[in-house]
A and B are shown apart, each in its own frame.
Chain A
Amino acid sequence: MDENAENNGEQVNNKAEDTEENEGELSVDDLRAELEKIDIEVPEVEISEVNIQQEDAYAEFPVSYKENTNKEKLILAYAENFRRQYVHLYRDRKPLFLNPVNECGIEKFVSTTIRPTLLPFQELYSYDNCAEFVADYLEFQALDPPVDLPNQLVSPTTALKSQKGNSFDFGTLLCSMLLGAGYDAYCVSGYATREICLMDQTRDVCPLMKKKGELKSEEKKKEMRKYQVKPPKDLRSKFDLKMQARKEAEEEAKAAERRKEEEARISEMEKPKPDALHGLRIHCWVLVLSGKREVPDSFFLEPLTGNTYPTEDDKFLGIESVWNHQNYWVNMQDCSNGCKDLSFDLGDSAKWEYLLHSSEKPSLEIPDVEAELYEGLDDDEEEQEDDKHLEMPPSWVHPILVTPKEYETRCPLGKKTILYKKARLEKFARYLLKDGMITKLSVYDDYELKNLVSVKEWFVNRQDKLELRVHNHRTGLITEYKLQGRLDCMKEHTYKSGSPGPETDRAMVFYDKARVDGLVKREETPTEMTEHFKDRDDFLYYRHVVFSKRMKRFGASTDANHRPILKISERFHRNKEKSAGEDVSERVFHIAEDRIQLTFHCEDNRVTASTREFIKPPNANDKSQTITMTPDMTSTFQVDTTKKSPKNLYIYNMLVSLVEAEDQSIQAIRGSEEEIKECLLERIREETVSELSISVYDTERNEKAKQHRKELERQQLEEKLRRQEQELDYLAPFLAQMGDPDKIARQQAFKLKEDCLADLKQRLIDKANLIQSRFEKETQELQKRQQWYQQNQVSMTKEDEEEYLAYCSEAMFRIHILELRLNRHKEMAPHKYMALEQKIRTDGRLSDYF
């Protein structure tokens, strides 16, 4: 059988070559006749069960999925020929992945299964997003057995539909998208480690946890200047220094040793278990070559995870072949060393054996002996030579389609969980969860994922602009990161998970540009509060408050029970408009001690700063009394002894303004406390509501827009119905009575008119009667009630009376309306009658007679 097949193959081979050479001369029929022999081989591949499984779906597939065109048949034959030669020449090599069957059981060449498509999503223009999309969208099914090539390769459209596939399906889809986006991408069939093949990432660090490459702090090169003061003399003993340095070096070395050991231990622990099938596991991934789309270096894209790897990565163990939508290359290089030493110059035919000789590919400019030979001949021959190259037929796959909804849902059912080393990553589709979570990363400190360290949750479209929440289970701290645009301008909020209420440990960071008071950060502990400011007009940048325990108050208190303030310190930046000696740098209100301490700024060439201290007069806080001052209430230290001391008036004014400032500071602190409370209340409310905002451009979810659209549709429908109604024939019932005559005689016409008018008249009268009777009924009722009321007026309760009065006014209203309607009807009836008569007169069918 085998031999037979080979013979047969040989024949086909010859034939194929024949076709190739004499294509111009062959008619299609001949070709078909020749190719029939090839087709016979197809059933040998076991595909029947696949066929049966998808019996019902089979009908739905387009024709191109179920049949092969001539060109495709030709390429299949050519490929088969290639395979035979390959097997013949390289007996010890594994079979090539050339002609798998598709979902309809038809053999298709792998290159034609790639359908370059650019999807209409902005994000999918870059390779990493494409890879991520493919990895998210499809569910992975491992190859079975892992060392054999799959028999079947479904089209990307089918893979998208069923949302599952093996690595080859992943690779084909990703390659199609990358080619569509303009990358120089190839599917690669080869061998990889077990972890890659089985999409096992439990040994990898989660990409979200990787620290961003620490910015290399640019060492500011200190300009070598001509003048430089000499550093002060070092008076320490050189020997001591040396000994110390040696000691430190030793300790350093020891520590390094320990670290190394530790690292070795960990890496030993993390090492995967030995794999019996190492180097045999078949895998398919994507190669992106440099050149197009400004890709600087070639790299591998792993379609199952969406990760990128350099081509030297040791996880990829070898390459059998690569292909894109135009050609197929077989690797001729030694892969015993993994992919490290491979050259990806596909034009080098010594390293890569091509299937189709195509002029499009970059090829090494090796002078072709044959070509030169032909050159001597006439031009016709040469043209034929060009034609002789077999072209890759266009893809049989239909364009890849992804609807916006599908794109948004991404993972099957909108959920996906990936396990990493000591971490679990969960992805959710937008709007899937009520609180808007899209990503959740749980970090553990053991490999079995039992000991939770921290949880990070990312959100989108939250009305409260929450973007990220980090819950550190070790310290119990929760940090929430918020986007700009909140009313309270909050940026970060850190608090203890155990005590979310006010007056506990917390830190809030704000968008200071958006705040009127320029607040950057507010930190709180149970007894202290620190606020940092930026760019304020009054140069304040720091305020620290110490509270004491709240006093217990008995009885009803009108104002809120504030914690008493012990001390307020405020620090200010230098105000260049004042002289340093008058510009306060720090002021401390010792409220409990009734003391105020001022420290002024240092002058530019000074090291000491002037200070001043006030003892607050006892009646200072009483607004109605003026502050009195005595000289012993203040003490000072003046840096500049030559300057005369300021006048008492100046000092007095300072004191007055300080007393005022103290009041203001206390106000501000109370305001801050209030704000914290409000913030917390607001947060609780937001958490319970957790509304998601919907973009006005989101036609799917924007309820308002949707309603509006539906309303418009409904209106249109109604309009349509009304128009239909208008077109109703008012004569139809009367014509029907006459048996719908084709032509209306004079007699009939008159009768028709009379009937019609009489009918209207009757209806008008009926209507008038109806209104009349209702009117009378109401009046009677009212009269009855009135009588009843007069009889029982004395014994009535207030409520009954009110009820009666209400009824009366309502009844009067109804009666009034009925009266109006009746009058109007009486007025309108003759007009209606006349109008109908006029209409009948001008009616096309009766106009002959009137």
Chain B
Amino acid sequence: MSRLYDTVEPAVIDEEMLQKAVEEQGPRDEAGRIAKQEGIDFADVLSLRLDFKNILKIDNLWRFTSLTKLQMDNNIIEKIEGMDALVNLVWLDLSFNNIEVIEGLDKLTKIRDLTLYNNKISCIENMDALVDLHVLSVGNNELDQLENLIYLRRFKQLKTLNLSGNPFCDDPNFKHYVIAYLPTLQFLDYRLIDENTRAAANEQYTYPIQQLEHNEEQARKRIEDQEAKEAEFNLHKGAYVENLNGSALFDSMFADDTEGPKLALLPGVDELLTGYKDKYTAICQQIFEYGLKEHQRRGDEVSGFQTAVDEAKEDNRNMGMRKINDFNEYRRKMFAELAQSSDQGHIDTSLEQHNKEIDKLWDSLMALEMQLVDQLEDTIKEFERNMADMVSTFVENVQALISQCRDLENTHNEKLLEVAIVTLEKMVKNELDDELPDDVRMLFVDKDTITNAVGASHDLHLLKIDNKEDDIITRANNWLAALMERVHNEEEVKRNRLRVSEINNFIDHLREEVETFEIQAA
């Protein structure tokens, strides 16, 4: 098929073309008439065919958000683009175009069937988003690297593949290579892969595939580990105690401290630091464990509350539905009776009775709703109280533990100061044996300098501790506030509004029906 593209004016996907295509391909006959009458919304169209239209650029498709099937074969498209809105696409046909690079498919995660037959593609790539790919056709392209096919191993659902007409098909190993490296394949180049060929192919490539599988397995494991770690970290974060199960906080205290490392070089400070670190880390660990435990308790509390609320709602709903069902039964009988009767007096009394019944139904439904509101209000209040207690206890305990840290820091500071003074004195007396670096020596010019240095270090440490404390407390409180906000909003306000409007809507409907009946009867 050779076409002189240059001589033909490329078409543009415009409103007119789309409208025409949609109408042509839309419903027929009576359905077509109705559709035409009220107009077809592009967002409702499920399938669209734009073939042999000489389209150069994919554009203006963003309104077709529920499209599942798109046919754009036999055009002169050069670039896959403008399809990010078509997230529901399952079937995409771009065969017989001039595409050179696979791209722009990152949003199309639901694609199962992709046809890129007869294009100018030289590399299979950029398809990681297509996790559900079943059928892929890239025949008659310019693929020449067999190794490139390993890319397709990531598609676990890939059953059918068409590669014929590519340069690498001339390779004598082509078929075996494909079959061996893509074990999920069932059809290759329009043919069922028979067991013998598969066995032969597997034999030929046993070793490289084993190697490959091993590598893949390891990569998978790495990712899993990473995910597990991340999940754990997120859990800790949820409990507000991340990085407290080790010396991270301690280390961070010294990270920004310029004076600390210098002071650490003083004689005797080394042991001092080790002891300090051990004690400090122990307290951090305590906070960490306490935090996790509290987190668990809070979770239990919330789920207990949620189940109670859900149950109450379910019970209430069932009661309401029973009432409505009873009423419907009554109404059905009444109308059946009325249909038989022609006595106007009888009809009138019946309708009156019916109206009374409607009022009664409204009363009882609203009573149920009010009852539920009361019940929920009490429960939510209790829950709120408990949660507030829990969080404040948590905060207090964390504060107590952290103040232990602060005490440790203070003690440490005092000792350090002592050591520093002693060292200073020694230095003054020139009794110091150890060689100290010059910048450390610089601190010992006089008592103020060294005191300032130690003090600065101390302040920095305290700041870090304070920050951590603030962080934990704010987050805990914020969480509580958000939770209660949500509970109040969802369980009380929104739910209640919805139910009341629903009841009223239903009652209105019932009344309306009676009225229409009356009009008809009259």
* Chain A residues, Cβ within 8 Å of B498: 605
Check A447 for interface membership: any CB of B closer than 8 A.
no
Please state if B509 and A637 are interface contacts (CB–CB under 8 Å): yes
With both beta carbons as reference points, the residue of chain A lying nearest to B498 in the complex is identified as A605
* Chain A residues, Cβ within 8 Å of B502: 606-608, 639
Q: How far is the CA of A649 from the CA of B29 in the complex (A)?
A: 12
A225-B304 in contact given A639-B506, A649-B27, A649-B35 (Cβ < 8 Å): yes
Please state if A232 and B371 are interface contacts (CB–CB under 8 Å): yes
A648-B34 in contact given A227-B304, A605-B495, A607-B324 (Cβ < 8 Å): yes
Size band of the interface chain A makes with B: 20 to 34
What does the 1/0 interface line of B26-66 toward A look like (CB < 8 Å)? Answer: 01011100110110110010000000000000000000000
With both beta carbons as reference points, the residue of chain A lying nearest to B319 in the complex is identified as A607
Check A267 for interface membership: any CB of B closer than 8 A.
no
Please state if B495 and A229 are interface contacts (CB–CB under 8 Å): no
* Chain A residues, Cβ within 8 Å of B313: 605
With both beta carbons as reference points, the residue of chain A lying nearest to B315 in the complex is identified as A229
* Most chain B beta carbons < 10 A, residue from A225, A607, A641: A607
Report whether over half of chain A's contact residues are helix, strand or loop; otherwise say mixed: loop
Please state if B505 and A652 are interface contacts (CB–CB under 8 Å): no
Please state if B324 and A648 are interface contacts (CB–CB under 8 Å): no
Size band of the interface chain B makes with A: 35 or more
Check A647 for interface membership: any CB of B closer than 8 A.
yes
Chain B nearest CB from A19 CB (Å) reads: 84
* Chain B residues, Cβ within 8 Å of A647: 38, 41, 44
Chain A nearest CB from B380 CB (Å) reads: 10
The 8 Å CB contact of A227, one of B29, B31, B305, B499, is B305
Chain A nearest CB from B385 CB (Å) reads: 12
Q: How far is the CA of A656 from the CA of B304 in the complex (A)?
A: 48
Q: How far is the CA of A71 from the CA of B305 in the complex (A)?
A: 84
Please state if A229 and B312 are interface contacts (CB–CB under 8 Å): yes
Check B379 for interface membership: any CB of A closer than 8 A.
yes
Check A685 for interface membership: any CB of B closer than 8 A.
no
A229-B376 in contact given A606-B502, A627-B30 (Cβ < 8 Å): yes
Q: How far is the CA of A629 from the CA of B34 in the complex (A)?
A: 9
Please state if B304 and A230 are interface contacts (CB–CB under 8 Å): no
Q: How far is the CA of A469 from the CA of B30 in the complex (A)?
A: 57
What does the 1/0 interface line of B491-518 toward A look like (CB < 8 Å)? Answer: 0000100110111011001000000000
Please state if A607 and B503 are interface contacts (CB–CB under 8 Å): yes
With both beta carbons as reference points, the residue of chain A lying nearest to B28 in the complex is identified as A626
Q: How far is the CA of A641 from the CA of B379 in the complex (A)?
A: 30
Check B193 for interface membership: any CB of A closer than 8 A.
no
* Chain A residues, Cβ within 8 Å of B40: 649
Please state if B375 and A230 are interface contacts (CB–CB under 8 Å): yes
What does the 1/0 interface line of A588-622 toward B look like (CB < 8 Å)? Answer: 00000000000000100111100000000000000
Q: How far is the CA of A229 from the CA of B314 in the complex (A)?
A: 12
Q: How far is the CA of A831 from the CA of B313 in the complex (A)?
A: 108
A641-B501 in contact given A605-B495, A608-B324 (Cβ < 8 Å): yes
Please state if A225 and B308 are interface contacts (CB–CB under 8 Å): yes
With both beta carbons as reference points, the residue of chain B lying nearest to A641 in the complex is identified as B505
Check A557 for interface membership: any CB of B closer than 8 A.
no
Check A653 for interface membership: any CB of B closer than 8 A.
yes
Please state if A653 and B375 are interface contacts (CB–CB under 8 Å): no
Q: How far is the CA of A606 from the CA of B27 in the complex (A)?
A: 34
* Chain B residues, Cβ within 8 Å of A606: 317, 502
A608-B307 in contact given A229-B379, A627-B30, A648-B34 (Cβ < 8 Å): no
* Chain B residues, Cβ within 8 Å of A652: 30-31, 34
* Chain B residues, Cβ within 8 Å of A227: 304-305, 307-309, 379, 382-383
Chain A nearest CB from B149 CB (Å) reads: 36
Please state if A626 and B371 are interface contacts (CB–CB under 8 Å): no
Check A628 for interface membership: any CB of B closer than 8 A.
yes
The 8 Å CB contact of A648, one of B38, B320, B382, is B38
Check B301 for interface membership: any CB of A closer than 8 A.
yes
Please state if B308 and A229 are interface contacts (CB–CB under 8 Å): yes
Check A405 for interface membership: any CB of B closer than 8 A.
no
What does the 1/0 interface line of B236-274 toward A look like (CB < 8 Å)? Answer: 000000000000000000000000000000000000000
Chain B nearest CB from A267 CB (Å) reads: 46
Check B378 for interface membership: any CB of A closer than 8 A.
yes
Q: How far is the CA of A230 from the CA of B311 in the complex (A)?
A: 12
Q: How far is the CA of A34 from the CA of B63 in the complex (A)?
A: 122
Check B231 for interface membership: any CB of A closer than 8 A.
no
Check B321 for interface membership: any CB of A closer than 8 A.
yes
Check B365 for interface membership: any CB of A closer than 8 A.
yes
Check A226 for interface membership: any CB of B closer than 8 A.
yes
Q: Which residues of chain B (4-31) have a CB below 8 Å from chain A?
A: 27, 29-31
What does the 1/0 interface line of A208-252 toward B look like (CB < 8 Å)? Answer: 000000000000000001111110100000000000000000000
The 8 Å CB contact of B321, one of A607, A629, A656, is A607
Q: How far is the CA of A628 from the CA of B309 in the complex (A)?
A: 49
Q: Which residues of chain A (632-657) have a CB below 8 Å from chain B?
A: 637, 639, 641, 647-649, 652-653, 656
Q: How far is the CA of A653 from the CA of B502 in the complex (A)?
A: 28
Q: How far is the CA of A746 from the CA of B499 in the complex (A)?
A: 131
Chain B nearest CB from A480 CB (Å) reads: 35
With both beta carbons as reference points, the residue of chain B lying nearest to A599 in the complex is identified as B328
What does the 1/0 interface line of B444-483 toward A look like (CB < 8 Å)? Answer: 0000000000000000000000000000000000000000
Chain B nearest CB from A609 CB (Å) reads: 8
* Chain B residues, Cβ within 8 Å of A629: 30, 34
A648-B37 in contact given A226-B301, A227-B382 (Cβ < 8 Å): yes
What does the 1/0 interface line of B132-162 toward A look like (CB < 8 Å)? Answer: 0000000000000000000000000000000
Q: How far is the CA of A626 from the CA of B29 in the complex (A)?
A: 8
With both beta carbons as reference points, the residue of chain A lying nearest to B35 in the complex is identified as A649
Q: How far is the CA of A230 from the CA of B324 in the complex (A)?
A: 24
A607-B499 in contact given A229-B312, A229-B379 (Cβ < 8 Å): yes
* Chain B residues, Cβ within 8 Å of A627: 30
Chain A nearest CB from B332 CB (Å) reads: 10
Chain A nearest CB from B510 CB (Å) reads: 9
Q: How far is the CA of A605 from the CA of B503 in the complex (A)?
A: 12
With both beta carbons as reference points, the residue of chain A lying nearest to B307 in the complex is identified as A225
Q: How far is the CA of A607 from the CA of B504 in the complex (A)?
A: 12
Q: How far is the CA of A239 from the CA of B31 in the complex (A)?
A: 68
* Chain A residues, Cβ within 8 Å of B305: 226-227
Please state if B505 and A628 are interface contacts (CB–CB under 8 Å): no
Q: How far is the CA of A608 from the CA of B503 in the complex (A)?
A: 8
Chain B nearest CB from A606 CB (Å) reads: 6
Q: How far is the CA of A553 from the CA of B19 in the complex (A)?
A: 55
The 8 Å CB contact of A229, one of B31, B37, B375, B505, is B375
Please state if A649 and B375 are interface contacts (CB–CB under 8 Å): no
Q: How far is the CA of A232 from the CA of B308 in the complex (A)?
A: 15
Chain A nearest CB from B28 CB (Å) reads: 9
Please state if B304 and A232 are interface contacts (CB–CB under 8 Å): no
* Most chain A beta carbons < 10 A, residue from B30, B313, B378, B505: B30
Q: Which residues of chain A (83-129) have a CB below 8 Å from chain B?
A: none
* Chain A residues, Cβ within 8 Å of B506: 608, 637, 639
Chain B nearest CB from A504 CB (Å) reads: 27
Q: How far is the CA of A230 from the CA of B371 in the complex (A)?
A: 10
A649-B30 in contact given A229-B312, A608-B324 (Cβ < 8 Å): no
Chain A nearest CB from B488 CB (Å) reads: 16
* Chain B residues, Cβ within 8 Å of A637: 506, 509
Q: Which residues of chain A (482-503) have a CB below 8 Å from chain B?
A: none
Please state if B31 and A607 are interface contacts (CB–CB under 8 Å): no
Task: Provide 20 A-B residue pairs closer than 8 Å at the C-beta atoms, listed in order of the A residue.
Answer: A226-B386, A227-B307, A227-B379, A227-B383, A229-B308, A229-B311, A229-B378, A230-B378, A230-B379, A232-B371, A232-B375, A605-B498, A606-B317, A608-B502, A608-B503, A608-B505, A628-B30, A647-B44, A648-B37, A653-B27
- Name the 8 nearest CB pairs between A and B, nearest first: A227-B308, A607-B320, A229-B375, A229-B312, A608-B506, A626-B30, A649-B35, A626-B29
Known contacts A227-B379, A606-B502, A607-B320; 11 additional CB pairs below 8 A are: A226-B301, A226-B304, A607-B365, A607-B502, A607-B503, A608-B324, A608-B503, A629-B34, A639-B506, A647-B41, A648-B38
